[in-house]
Structure 1
Amino acid sequence: MLAGLAEPSQRSLVTDALAHLGQLECRVAVVGQIKSGKSSAINALARSPHLLPTRITPWTTAVTNLHFAQTPPGGYGAVFSFFEHAEWDQLAEGGGRVRELTEQLVPGFAPEHLLEQAALLRQRASERLGPEFELLLGQAHFFEALAPGMMEDYVCAGDFTGPQRIGKYSDITKSADVYLDQGPFAFPSTVVDTPGTNDPFLIRDEITRRSLESADVYVVVLTACQPLSETDVSLLRIMRGLYKDRIVVLVNRIDDLADLDVELPKIAGYVEQRLLAEFPGSHIPVVYGSAWWANQAYVFEPDAAARILTRRSAGYLLRAGLLQPNELHAGSLASGDFCDRVRQSLLAMSGIPALGQAIETLMAAARPTYVQRKIAHSFAEMARACESAARSELQILLAAEASSLDAKSSAEDTFSIYTREHDLLAGVAADIEQSAAGIEAQLARIIQEEQDALRGMLQSSIALHAARERDVLVDTLSRGRCPRVWTHEGVALRRALARVFKEGFEKAAWRLTSFHARVVPELHKLMRTLVPQPDLEATHSGEALVIPTPAVTPISRLLVLDLKTAGWSALWSRHPSAESSGEKIEALIRAEFAPIAEELVQLAGRVFHDFSTTTIQWSLAACRNIQLALTRRLELVLAEHDAARRSAAPSGAPPPAEDFTERIRAQAQRLEDTEALTQHVEYLARYFDTILKIEASEPNG
């Protein structure tokens, strides 16, 4: 409706924003170790127990994106993409980052073991696929819809021995995209099922970590039998640079505990203390439950229900208040009423409803909400501009009608009046364009200055850390304690970069939002020279819009240098002194982390440019919209009066009264439409303001 009411030259802003809204999704990444129950938890969230494979021994090997309530591109319901040649070569060679991640995540894991596994993987893929193997790399398979058993062929694999009946393409599948109509949330969402963080083929582990960057909410799935193991803590440390208030933890498989009443409180205390140590000052919601219970609540298989009731953990189901202790036996399943109550108890005590609620709460303050808030404010500003223009256009028509009925006024006088108004509009248009040029130049300068400042801060942190590492290595070598393997994990540096980025980004964001808060009232003054009505107040009631800090994953740059291998021993022989070795390490750290700093700087720049184009540019567009609408109306009236002035009629008669009546009626309807639209979108803008204020006041905010 707004696109139809705005001036033609301003409609592209509206249609572009609508296209952006149409593509908006909330991404929920589910991460955790192999067999922690990630896929089962996703199935339970989606209320579709058989959506992802869970009952088979093989585990998930590829990133699986489940797109809910979104239009599939090309109409395909399932797309499976395969590794590129270069990625496969990296996997097969077992070197580079794969080697580094192995050393980091699996202490004592010898590189030759990874090479052996990689060779076995290549052999297995070749045997399964034959001549297709090389042809499929870098390609994809497309299907109209997801069929039963399809996921097992593409994203599941297990032991490397014995006959394999499933997983034909799993060794070369990099990602799977599945599009489903119904989902766990009302908002279009994508739930990302990731390979386990302790996958022995660590190219998949790195792909999992890369997938974290684009997520809005993170679900960390732990197993109750071994919560927050060292591998889990390693994952949390990588996630430390992410928005801490976008994480929810699910401690899954509590049904495996022998004595829930005794063990669960101990587990809860340990998990909360460990999370507090890893994320000091943050409140990360923790949910305890069983995805298996939830899925059984949906499918309710009698044999599985009987097994549940005979386990000691079944006593936990009594807390739902729907069952009695004397009913916890298989014989009770003969009653339909009892089965219904068991279903309700399983779902209530599974923790899955609480997990869904926790995710929804985090969604409310995630990036898509901020995007919608900005667009709602922009639409409200444009709607008010359309309303003001429509009201002024109506006044022009009413004045023109009055002049046509006034016997004392002449066509020359009326023409002169409208000519002056038209010239005044031309002057205001020139002011608008001059203001726009000045604002855009200032914005570009501010963004560039802040990017340069952020770059300097990040580079200084890297230089300081590299110098410290140099001194440590020099001191170690000087005392004759030359290690065979020198490892630089960079945890301290990653923390420092995350902190510096957050501080620098927030400083730059404050400068941009302050500039916005100063500029918009000036633009409203320009609008009042066009339409002096008091209906152009800021949609956010004087409050500056917020630029949320983007969720960034500090890239894990682990340096593992074997000082006795041929390549590095040659380096040390060329630089025999401790000082020379230290300088080389310092340069190496700088070279490794410099691209990370630049990546963060460019990320900040993109966010700042997006803010400028979706806020101040819209205020300028609202000004232009009023000016263009009034100019168009005046040009029409001028043309008619000029025609009347030049006509042969002695009085220079204007258009017939019935023409004015119809135009006034149409313009009055246009004004009524814009008033209704303004009221609607202003309500939406206030709604998003309220939501974000509520979330900001919560502990997670």
Structure 2
Amino acid sequence: MNITHDFTATDRIALAPALGCLNAGLEPLAQLADQARSLEKSLDLLEQLAGETGQRSVIRLRDELAAFEPAITIVGQVKSGKTTLVNALAGWSDLLPADVNPWTSVVTSLHLMPGRQRQDVGARFQLMREEEWDRLLRKGGRLGELADRAGADTEMEKIRAQIEEMREKSRRRLGRKFELLLGQEHEYGYFDKNLLERYICLGDDFLSEEDAPEEDDQGRFADITRSADLFLHCQSMPHPLCIRDTPGVNDTFMMREQVTINAVRNSRVCVMVLSANQALTSVDMGLIRLVSNLNARDVIIFVNRIDELQDPGEQVPEIEASIRATLAEHDGPEDAQIIFGSAYWAGRVLSETVDDMTDASAAALMNWAEAQLATGDHDLGAPDMIWQLSGLPQLNRAIAEQVVDTLGAPKLRKIAAAAVTIASGQQAANLVRIAGDSGGADQPIEEIRRELASLSQEHLDDLADALAAIAASHHERSDRAHKNFLERATHSLIAHLEKHGDGPVWEYSPTGLRMLLKSAHSVFTSRAQTAAAEAYQNAVADVAELYYRAFGDAVEGIQLSVPEVPAAAPPVSLAQTIALDFNDGWWRTWWRRARGYKAFAARFHAMIAAETADFITQFKTAPTNEFTARLIDVLQSFLDQSRDVLDDIAQGNGARPESDTLFLDGHEQDRQSAIAALIADLEPLALQGREDTSTNAGQ
């Protein structure tokens, strides 16, 4: 469903002042953008120089380059100023409203596109599917399912009351349209504050459908919105970037937890936002579990709201030490980069309201300035200095470096290597044309194509079989870990009952299960990547040999690069809350309801087995299938490109001119010279950051 409106809103999102400081820290991303533009020009030239089949391959590479949009996922504590920070990163002080509805499972993705024109270009909102809403209403979400399994009647009544309140509120807002809206996608050719508030912010409750205004009513769709995408130009952003603002991991029905986990899983760079007043405590176990499953190099910690500290110069080192100690205690990424700052200060710079800063914040700013700028540059103007002290330049640089290292450089390297293969294939096609029928074996081209197709299918089948065996082993290992966990937990429960009776409440941490599963994921990933690397090398070698047997020395110059093995997504599904993570009222209620040792053990085993079954399934199935498909797709892409190169070469086979003086006319000489120059330009990027893993046909 597309909804379009003329942009006439007067309550327009404020544009940031034209400050040079907004680019501070983004230099690595600017360099990546320069390389991408250069690569795009090379692909445009290669398309002109390539044959018909080669052109199709080049177009696919160009589309892949154009679609490249690195994603940064922002997670954080409640009241950490996460949304204010997202606004500062985008350079728009009031882009996203800060009062996001706590009942809404919304990931808001900002698609920042380079452009000198600071204008809104569109928005898309995905509403809840019927089955998601139905699960919430019938079962109370995951928390309701858990409470129901535990027999926590009191807790279930509370959940039902909250759900009923939310349902009635939604019906008052949406009236007869309510059921029809589920599953819809709304698109707009603009966005403004009113539109955003309508979909992702808490709104007023309307007395009746007749009293509800048709447009600009805050929170109208908030309860059933599941995701929001905003597309906008950002003059400070040198390269396209997606910033995902997540709703958090601590919500009433544990619905937002799952969408946040999915957002983190689909992103290689994660920024965890903490409040300087809260730091990181055991209360934030959901957040700790989430980041504990990420590599240290994939996590950037931004401690926000230092403007609320009385003495940030003295307190910041203490807070950092506390954060690192908490991460170490819970097996978190101890070496993660930690940056301190204030999105509030950055917002004041963006809105040009520095003079309106509160007295307490101004005092904290002066204190932080003395600590940070004692030996620094004092020649900056006031806005630029405050921007520097806000921590945004440091955060920008950390994000930019991470994007370039983990996403940007591998992507450009992959595309450049594929372009080199296509270009060198064009050279080989010309040599085959010159050599004519004497260039290789007396094999009909259709037979060569059939042999390549058979070879390709053989390699794809071999890799699929190898990965299937590795996945099956992973499933078995995960199931054993699950079974052993249930047995150990039940034995621990019985031992507790025998020693203390059923008076003191027994507690048991599922940390051991998560550690075993994380280890299983590591083993699976390593084995799958090893199998893929071997399959890629074997496929390249066999394709190179086939080219040589078919066309002889003329194809020795074709450079076939062994594809890079992709990285696996982190096992963030392990952060999902399960029953034993709770030590609050409903657990104690369950404990008091059980009577007799056998009743305790039997009821506990059944409840935890049912509760963790979905947890185990999500851990071992979806991520395994996704990674296996990615590994196979890489091989498929290489084999498809090899087929295209073969077709280009085949077009020149047997087309030898009658006179040697016609081997290369002036136009063809210029074309071959241009191809050689293009390969020389592309090779440094294709080999940047990796060993030379290319293979020439015939080697």
State which of 352, 357, 367 in structure 2 corresponds to 1:300: 352
Matched with 1:625 is 648
CA distance in 2, matches of 1:297, 1:591: 47
Q: CA deviation at 1:90?
A: 2.8
2:84 alignment partner in structure 1:
40
Distance, in Å, in 1 between the alignment partners of 2:414 and 2:506 is 49
Deviation, structure 1 residue 436: 5.0
Cα separation, 2, equivalents of 1:484 and 1:602: 43
- State the secondary structure of the residue aligned to 1:311: helix
Instruction: Tell me which amino acid in the other structure corresponds to 1:236.
Output: I
Q: Who is 1:389 aligned against?
A: 429
Work out the CA distance in 2 between the residues paired with 1:442 and 1:691: 23
Percent of pairs with identical residues: 23
Distance 1:31 1:691 in 2: 38
Q: Deviations over 1:252-300 (max 9, x none)?
A: 0000011112221110111122233444675211110001111212222
- The one-letter code sitting in structure 2 at the alignment partner of 1:174 is R
1:507 matched residue in structure 2: 527
1:152 pairs with one of 194, 197, 213 = 197
SS in structure 2 at match of 1:200: coil
- 2:244 partner SS: strand
**TM-score for the superposition, normalised by structure 1:** 0.77
Partner of 2:465 in structure 1?
A: 448
Maintained 8 Å contact 1:69/1:182: yes
Which residue of the partner structure matches residue 290 of structure 2? 238
Query: Aligned runs of 1:183-202 on 2, under 5 Å?
Result: 185-202=237-254
Matched ranges for 1:237-386 at <5 A: 237-279=289-331, 283-305=335-357, 307=359, 310-319=362-371, 321=373, 341-367=381-407, 369-386=409-426
Cα distance in 1 for residues equivalent to 2:344 and 2:330: 29
After superposition, residues 524-535 of structure 1 pair within 5 angstroms as 524-528=544-548, 530=551, 532=553
Equivalent-residue separation in structure 2 for 1:32 and 1:101 (angstroms): 25
- Per-residue CA distance 1:167-200 (angstroms, 9 max, x = gap): 2322222211110122654332211111133333
Q: In the TM superposition, what whole-angstrom CA distance separates every residue of 1:611-631 from its partner, at most 9, and x where no partner exists?
A: 2123355345434432x1322
* 2:72 equivalent in structure 1: 28
C-alpha contact 2:565 2:631 (8 A) present in aligned 1? no
Kept in 2: contact 1:249–1:287 (CA 8 A): yes
The Cα RMSD (Å) is: 4.3
Structure 2 residue 92 is matched with structure 1 residue 52: no
Q: Deviations over 1:350-373 (max 9, x none)?
A: 111111111111112334543432
Deviation, 1:217, is 1.0
Bigger drift between 128-137 and 303-312 goes to 303-312
Across the two proteins, how many residue pairs are aligned to each other?
Answer: 623
CA distance in 1, matches of 2:108, 2:692: 31
Aligned equivalents of 2:564, 2:273: Cα separation in 1:
34
Distance 1:499 1:632, change over 3 A: farther
Work out the CA distance in 2 between the residues paired with 1:321 and 1:172. Answer: 48
Residues 354 and 497 of structure 1: CA distance in aligned 2, closer, same or farther (over 3 Å):
same
Q: Which residue of 1 aligns with 2:59?
A: 15
Aligned residue type for 1:78: A
State how far apart, in whole Å, the 2-side matches of 1:270 and 1:691 are.
44
Please tell me the residue identity of whatever aligns with 1:376.
Answer: A
Q: 1:348 to 1:587 in 2, by over 3 A?
A: closer
CA distance in 1, matches of 2:274, 2:206: 28
Q: How far apart are residue 538 of structure 1 and its match?
A: 4.8
Shift of 1:347: 0.5
**Quick one: which of 486, 494, 503 aligns to 1:469?**
486
Q: One-letter code of the match for 1:132?
A: K
Letter in 1 for 2:557: L
Contact 1:245 1:282 in 2 (8 A): no
2:477 to 448, 460, 475: 460
CA contact (8 A) 2:313 2:371 kept: no
Contact 2:143–2:254 (8 Å) recurs in 1: yes
Contact kept, 8 Å, 2:174 with 2:220, in 1: the verdict is yes
- How many angstroms apart in 2 are the aligned matches of 1:151 and 1:462? 44
Q: Which amino acid counterpart does residue 687 of structure 1 have in structure 2?
A: Q
- Work out whether 1:601 is the aligned partner of 2:624: yes
Q: Partner amino acid for 2:261?
A: R
Q: Report the TM-score, using the length of structure 2 for normalisation.
A: 0.77
Letter in 2 for 1:606: A
Question: Is the CA contact (8 Å cut-off) linking 2:122 and 2:190 kept in structure 1?
Answer: yes
Q: Does the alignment pair 1:681 with 2:671?
A: no
User: Greater shift after overlay, 220-229 or 485-494?
Assistant: 485-494
**Equivalent residues of 2:324, 2:334 under 8 A apart:** no
Match of 2:638 in 1: 615
Q: Which runs of 5+ in 1 are unaligned?
A: 325-336, 397-417, 642-653, 693-701
Alignment map for 1:653-668 (pairs within 5 Å): 660=662, 664-668=665-669
Distance 1:342 1:195 in 2: 34
Structure 1 residues 143 and 457: CA distance shift in structure 2, 3 A: closer
User: How many angstroms apart in 2 are the aligned matches of 1:284 and 1:307?
Assistant: 33
User: Where in structure 2 are there 5+ consecutive unaligned residues?
Assistant: 1-44, 694-699
Higher mean Cα deviation, 266-275 or 162-171?
Answer: 162-171
CA distance in 2, matches of 1:227, 1:563: 27
Q: Distance in 1 between matches of 2:166 and 2:203?
A: 11
Deviation of 1:349 after TM superposition, in Å, equals 0.8
1:517 to 537, 545, 548: 537
Query: CA separation in 1, counterparts of 2:579 and 2:374?
Result: 56
CA distance change for structure 1 residues 625 and 497 in 2, over 3 Å: closer, same or farther? farther
Contact in 1 for aligned 2:124/2:186 (Cα 8 Å): yes
Indicate yes or no: 2:262 matched with 1:214: no
Q: For the Cα contact (< 8 Å) 1:488–1:559, is it kept in 2? A: no
Q: Is the 8 A contact 1:78 1:143 kept in 2?
A: yes
**Distance change >3 Å, CA 39–CA 565, structure 1 → 2:** closer
Distance in 2, Cα, partners of 1:46 & 1:382:
38
Determine the C-alpha separation between the residues in 2 that align with 1:484 and 1:108.
Answer: 21
In 1, Cα distance between the equivalents of 2:358 and 2:375? 15
8 Å CA contact retained: 2:470, 2:527: no
Q: Decide which moves more: 354-363 or 142-151.
A: 142-151
Mapped contact 1:45–1:352 kept (Cα < 8 A): yes
SS at match of 2:653: helix
Distance 1:308 1:580 in 2: 55
Matched, 1:122 2:141: no
1:23-102 equivalent positions in 2, closer than 5 A? 23-54=67-98, 61=104, 62-69=106-113, 77-93=122-138, 95-99=140-144
User: What residue identity is the alignment partner of 1:147?
Assistant: D
Q: Is the 8 A contact 1:241 1:495 kept in 2?
A: no
1:474–1:582 CA contact under 8 A, matched in 2: no
- In the alignment, the residues of structure 2 paired with residue 454 and residue 349 of structure 1 have an alpha-carbon distance, to the nearest angstrom, of 49
Q: Which of these residues, 532, 535, 548, is aligned with residue 567 of structure 2?
A: 548
Give the letter for the 1:532 counterpart.
D
- Distance, in Å, in 2 between the alignment partners of 1:691 and 1:211 is 34
Once residues 51 and 78 of structure 2 are traced to their aligned partners in structure 1, the CA distance between those partners, rounded to angstroms, is 56
Give the distance between the partners of 1:439 and 1:516, measured in 2 at CA: 11
Once residues 519 and 236 of structure 1 are traced to their aligned partners in structure 2, the CA distance between those partners, rounded to angstroms, is: 42
**Structure 2 letter corresponding to 1:214:** N
Corresponding position of 1:169:
221
Whether the 8 Å contact between 1:222 and 1:232 is mirrored in structure 2 is: no
